[in-house]
Amino acid sequence: MTALGFRRRPVTLMYHAFSVGKAAHDPYDLHVDVAAFEDQLLRLRAAGWKALDLDGYLGWRPGDQPGFLVTIDDGFQSAVDLALPVLARLGVPSLMMLPAGLLGSTTTWLEEQPDAPILSADVVPDLAAARMEVGGHGWDHQDMRTLSAAGLVQHTTGVAERLRELTGGGAPRSFAYPFGWHDTAARAQVRAAGYTIGFSVYDDADAYAISRCDVKPDDTWATLRWKLVPGYRRLWRAAGAVKPLRSGLRRMTQRG
């Protein structure tokens, strides 16, 4: 891999659901072909990136071997059925961000796909065997900017208590904001609830809003590699102001 550049922190990859081949119904572009997923993990490793668990992520310092952290949001059953065996086989650790109040239910917040199954509570204790650490993703996947103070507590502390009950281990350390949306109150509450780290999607604030690389079903190794270049998003936004630049960038990313 070229253009690793200087990194302040490891890359965090964000996945959601998985499919075998292209998903038949994927209105939100959430289902990554599990073969592509495996290929991405293998290529990252072959390119010199180390698969990190949360301890490795938190302990990483600039100058260390480049690292990546796999995060999977929402607890889709397809992540357990398809991605987890791949992660276990390759020995790649991951974080599974769970809407604790929807375990065993479905993706009720997705208007055009409300019936996708979410893993059930009795599966949660087994995830650790595949080095999959659970984190919080709100109680039932609401926009945290809209919640009352009591709601924020339920969606952070309530989630931590429920997950701790299920794992029988320590409190969850990581939190991902539903839809990636957060504000000062949400970040403060995630911190107050005892989480160590919070993940957003596109914007960075502090240790409680760390942006992630959103891996999409149509990403190829070439497009993903570009997304991992430090400053890619800034470059992309800047290119948006100049149409030919953006199409030039797109052409570059589509090259092998």
Lay out the site mask for Zn ion across 70-99 (x = CB under 5 A, - = otherwise).
Answer: ---xx-------------------------
Q: Fill in the DSSP letter of residue 230.
A: T
Q: How many residues bind Zn ion (CB under 5 A)?
A: 3
Residues 226, 193 contacting (CB under 8 angstroms)? no
Q: CA 37 to CA 43: how far, in whole Å? A: 10
Q: Please say which residue, 30 or 166, places its beta carbon nearer to Zn ion.
A: 30
Binding marks (x or -) toward Zn ion, 11..40, rule CB under 5 A? ------------------------------
| Minimum distance of Zn ion from residue 37's CB (angstroms) | 18
Report the nearest approach of Zn ion to the CB of residue 241 (Å): 30
CA–CA distance, 167 with 129 (Å, rounded to integer): 11
State the nearest-atom distance from the C-beta of 97 to Zn ion, in Å.
Answer: 7
CB of 179 to Zn ion, least distance (A): 6
Contact call for residue 133 and Zn ion (CB under 5 A)? no
Residues 146 and 183: beta-carbon distance below 8 Å: no
Beta-sheet strands, E only, within 93-239: 94-98, 132-136, 174-176, 197-199, 213-214
How far apart are alpha carbons 255 and 221 in whole angstroms? 10
**Residue whose CB is less far from Zn ion, 44 or 97:** 97
Give the residue ranges of DSSP H helices in 16-123.
Answer: 34-46, 54-59, 77-78, 84-90
Side-chain-facing half-sphere of 69: CA atoms under 13 Å? 24
Interactions with Zn ion, residue window 200-239 (CB under 5 A): none
Contact string (CB under 5 A) for Zn ion, positions 146-185, x = contact: --------------------------------x-------
Please, which residue, 59 or 202, has the CB nearer to Zn ion? Answer: 202
Shortest separation between residue 138's beta carbon and Zn ion, angstroms: 8
Query: Do you know the residue count of the chain?
Result: 256
CA 37/CA 219 separation, integer angstroms: 10
**Least separation, in Å, of the C-beta of 249 and Zn ion?**
28
Between β-strands 132-136 and 67-73, what pairing exists: parallel, antiparallel or unpaired?
A: unpaired
| Helices 232-240 + 243-254 axis angle, to 10 | 140
Identify residue 135 by its one-letter amino acid code.
G
Q: How far is the CB of 178 from Zn ion (least distance, A)?
A: 5
State which residue, 87 or 116, has the beta carbon closest to Zn ion: 116
Segment 45 to 74, residues that bind Zn ion, using CB under 5 A:
73-74
In the complex with Zn ion, which residue's Cβ is closer, 67 or 180?
180
Q: Given the rule CB under 5 A, which residues bind Zn ion? A: 73-74, 178
